Chains A and B, each alone.
Chain A
């Protein structure tokens, strides 16, 4: 199983809402990532978890709050987002170590209204 599963596939939320994005993998990967991708742009790294601990935060606003409850799950909690936060949010996972392949999920298309 080389799949990274993200739910939901689509999400529309208001600026005062609280929502969560979920990501799951069963490949035994101990590194998990959140990326943000705007239309016609490359993915941009947001957060990296290694062994369920946050290891990289790319200066992401606090309205995005990641959580890694166990080695298979990764969440992204959203609160008080702005319309400019509308994007495709991608989860990825990889083995720890040098030059390992990152497997991406198909993403959650988020629209903030």
Chain B
């Protein structure tokens, strides 16, 4: 119930492509869904976040789509660049202190 399932495990796209990362959850008490980006040797950094009363949110080239009835959400990266190559984690939380992370997706954007 506390798990957040994330797929794919790894992803390779060409520059300009649109990688899509998917996550699914079971616990309907989750009410906050952030995405984190992590570069090697660095801590995770918040990319974008969404609440379940919103179906889509865009920030720059990053878009979250949220399907509350299916308990699924996804990250789209428009016009992907080699600098976007990183590991992406979806996460979910309820209350304000317990973040549950997905298993991570290693993205490689080839030039």
Contacts and interface: CB of A to CB of B under 8 A. Distances in A.
A50 B103 contact: no
A66 interface: no
Contacts of A33: 97
Contacts of A45: 98-99
Interface in A28-46: 31, 33, 40-45
Contact of B101 (A40, A42, A56, A98): A42
B43 A107 contact: yes
Tier of interface size on chain A: 20 to 34
Nearest to A44: B101
Contact of B49 (A44, A94, A101): A101
A44 B103 CA distance: 11
A99 B43 contact: no
A105 B45 CA distance: 9
Contact of A99 (B31, B101, B102): B31
